[in-house]
């Protein structure tokens, strides 16, 4: 009896109109963590490697999906903003996802869903530009500098 190569299964699924991605799942489920405020000013959390995988806004909450290495210690997350807007239409804000791995050198690939309260950013926008409603393009990035652009309308 001939053994089938797993690569052949994937190729077969693709050729028959299926998806090889349907069988791929993250090693760890994405788990929500507590709501965090935006840090305005300098990063006080840490600068361990972290990758932003996706982001969205719901109301005044920014949801960010991240991944990083670790698995043996508790990690701390943050979101840093300088407190200033880039002038454009609409204005833009650079946000940096920060990460303290607490010296966790384990090699598991961890996925997390973080959420942050955008109220301080909204209040600063109202203070600087006036009006009850506004829009900001959030430029969210991880430690690798690669990021996402997400509209925030309030």
Quick: pLDDT tens for 78-94.
999 999 999 999 999 99
Quick: pLDDT tens for 112-126.
999 999 999 999 999
Domain ranges of the chain: 27-153
Q: Is 105 exposed, middle or buried (0-12, 13-18, 19+ CB in 10 A)?
A: exposed
Pick the residue with more confidence: 107 or 19?
A: 107
pLDDT of residue 149: 97
Statement: the pTM of the whole predicted model exceeds 0.85: no
Domain over 27-153 is classified CATH 3.40.50.1820? no
pLDDT of residue 19: 36
> Which residue in this structure is represented by tokens 């973080």?
114
Whole-angstrom distance, CA of residue 120 vs CA of residue 132? 14
Provide the strand spans (E) within 49-107: 51-58, 61-70, 76-81, 91-100
Residue 33's pLDDT band, with cuts at 50, 70 and 90, is low
Quick: pLDDT tens for 44-85.
899 999 999 999 999 999 999 999 999 999 999 999 999 999
Q: Look at residue 27 and tell me whether its pLDDT is greater than 60.
A: no
């Amino acid at each position: 009896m001939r053994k089938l190569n797993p690569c052949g299964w994937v190729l077969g699924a693709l050729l028959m109109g299926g998806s090889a991605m349907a069988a791929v799942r993250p090693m760890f489920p994405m788990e929500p963590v507590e709501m965090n405020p935006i840090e305005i000013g300098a990063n006080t959390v840490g600068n361990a490697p972290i990758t932003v995988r996706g982001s969205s806004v719901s109301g005044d909450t920014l949801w960010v999906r991240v991944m990083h290495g670790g698995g043996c210690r508790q990690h701390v997350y943050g979101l840093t903003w300088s407190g200033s807007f880039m002038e454009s239409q609409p204005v833009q804000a650079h946000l940096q996802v920060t990460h303290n791995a607490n010296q966790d050198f384990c090699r598991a690939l961890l996925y997390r869903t973080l959420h942050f309260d955008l109220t301080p950013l909204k209040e600063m926008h109202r203070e600087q530009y006036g009006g009850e409603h506004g829009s900001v393009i959030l430029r969210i990035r991880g430690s690798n500098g690669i990021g996402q652009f997400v509209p925030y309308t309030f």
